[in-house]
Structure 1
Amino acid sequence: MNDTSAAPAAIDRLDTVEQETGPNPAWTVLWLHGLGADGHDFAPIVPELVRPHWPALRFVFPHAPVRAVTINGGARMRAWYDIVDMNLANRADEGGVDASVRQVEALIAREQARGVDPSRILLAGFSQGGAIALACALRRATPLGGIIALSTYLPMAQRLVAEATPQARNQPVFMAHGQMDPVVPYAGGDASARQLRALGLPVEWHAYPMGHQVCGEEIADLAAWMSQRLA
């Protein structure tokens, strides 16, 4: 399988919102937003998440492309892929997932060009963004430093499990989900975590009494997990 860390030159570069927590960051957190949001959505989480003892980080929040979303009556909004069905097994359009993975890989390649080794890149995502993060992770021929998948699921699971590279198994994963999530059912997130563990990925799973959102306890748990990666 080809190394997907080298994105095709023809891929359009996504616009991004960026924050650096200190000079000359040697670590990058690439964070993908959910359906209908944009790169500004999770930027406010930075001061709440970052701990004083961490090295300098560059947070990169890309804007997903604008596309028609079938489940929303064809309305155009920022989305990493079209949602064609509410059933998780058939929810994501494969072409959209593949295109977004290529665009994320282009951003990873840009961070490498900036001097950040893949082992110091954390790929994060919420909901749709988390689905793309997991899809990207399973195809990596060069492992990233970690994957953060919040309130999400593994799209195209049968195909992606079959395509998973041996190197993908070396990526630690933080997954968190609301037990009352009406958008991505809790059972779907839990099943995805089990699939990743069956592949050999080290998955740390957290559940919270909430809906399709992020809570303070989750941010604290994520910070503890990131501290282990950044040590």
Structure 2
Amino acid sequence: MDNATDLLETIEQETGPSPQWAIVWLHGLGADGHDFVPLVPELVRPGWPALRFVFPHAPVRAVTINNGARMRAWYDIVGTDFPTRADSEGVDQSIVQAGALIDREHARGIPAERVLLAGFSQGGAIALAAGLRRKTPLAGVIALSTYLPGAETAATTKTEAATRQPVFMAHGTADPVIPLIHAERSAQLLGSLGVDVEWHRYPMAHHLCAEEISDLGDWMSRRFEQA
């Protein structure tokens, strides 16, 4: 497994010259950075500023719940109980690695306030956890088909900056991987901590749908307009 301080290998796509905004997008368990590259043309709209999409590959590690099989994962899943299933050390390491990618965007001329941190499933869990700990607020956090790990300590780990980051959360009502109730509880918890959460549910399983992509595009448009 990569050291937490190593910069992850990434796939990048730019929608125009000299990007003004960046979207760091974290894939789900067992996938890799290629997974959401096809989403770019479906999501991007005319009139948006030039964007740089950054799709990192998670480190390869053994995943306990999958009989110890090694695969790309942002953290180990040690059981089926949602409050305790995420390996906290792995979560912490991935938060550092996501932060390093955000810092690299700053070094390339895109400050944190023009960076969106996005993730699906396990990647979305890291996006939410990282967002809560940000000392410099991002433009927003996108969390799809996911939940907040470490919810029991969220109130103590939350920073003041976290409440200045809007969050887009979306989930399928028939998700067999992360049941809807866990996502709803996470959205409610974030709201109780003062985070501005836009919550959506769709009649789907553990994936994305066209309506969701449209709603996300509307939310992103508002982020660009408000900057």
Partners in 2 of 1:10 and 1:157 — Cα distance?
Answer: 22
The one-character-per-residue Cα deviations of 1:59-98 (angstroms, maximum 9, x if unpaired) are 0000000000000000000000000011210110000000
Q: Identify which of 48, 53, 58 aligns with 2:52.
A: 58
TM-score, normalized by length of structure 1?
0.95
Q: How does 1:134-153 map to 2 (within 5 A)?
A: 134-153=128-147
Q: Does 1:21 align with 2:15?
A: yes
Partners in 2 of 1:162 and 1:60 — Cα distance?
Answer: 30
Query: What is aligned with 1:35?
Result: 29
Query: What is aligned with 2:208?
Result: 214
Please, what is the CA RMSD of the aligned residues? 1.0
Query: What is aligned with 1:171?
Result: 165
Query: What is aligned with 1:200?
Result: 194
Partners in 1 of 2:135 and 2:148 — Cα distance?
Answer: 18
Q: How does 1:112-123 map to 2 (within 5 A)?
A: 112-123=106-117
Partners in 2 of 1:182 and 1:82 — Cα distance?
Answer: 19
The one-character-per-residue Cα deviations of 1:105-128 (angstroms, maximum 9, x if unpaired) are 110100000010111000000000
Partners in 2 of 1:227 and 1:137 — Cα distance?
Answer: 20
The one-character-per-residue Cα deviations of 1:119-168 (angstroms, maximum 9, x if unpaired) are 10000000000000011000011100000000000001112331101111
Q: Across the two proteins, how many residue pairs are aligned to each other?
A: 223
Structure 1 residues not aligned, in runs of 5+: 1-8
Q: Is the 8 A contact 1:138 1:161 kept in 2?
A: no
Q: How does 1:50-129 map to 2 (within 5 A)?
A: 50-129=44-123
TM-score, normalized by length of structure 2?
0.97
Partners in 2 of 1:199 and 1:10 — Cα distance?
Answer: 28
**What SS class does the counterpart of residue 43 from structure 1 fall into?**
coil
Partners in 2 of 1:98 and 1:10 — Cα distance?
Answer: 9
The CA deviation at 1:40 is: 0.2
Partners in 1 of 2:77 and 2:114 — Cα distance?
Answer: 32
Q: Does 1:224 align with 2:221?
A: no
Partners in 1 of 2:119 and 2:62 — Cα distance?
Answer: 21
Identity across the alignment (%): 65
Q: Is the 8 A contact 2:4 2:94 kept in 1?
A: no
Partners in 2 of 1:226 and 1:10 — Cα distance?
Answer: 29
The CA deviation at 1:230 is: 1.0
Structure 2 residues not aligned, in runs of 5+: none
Partners in 2 of 1:159 and 1:106 — Cα distance?
Answer: 23
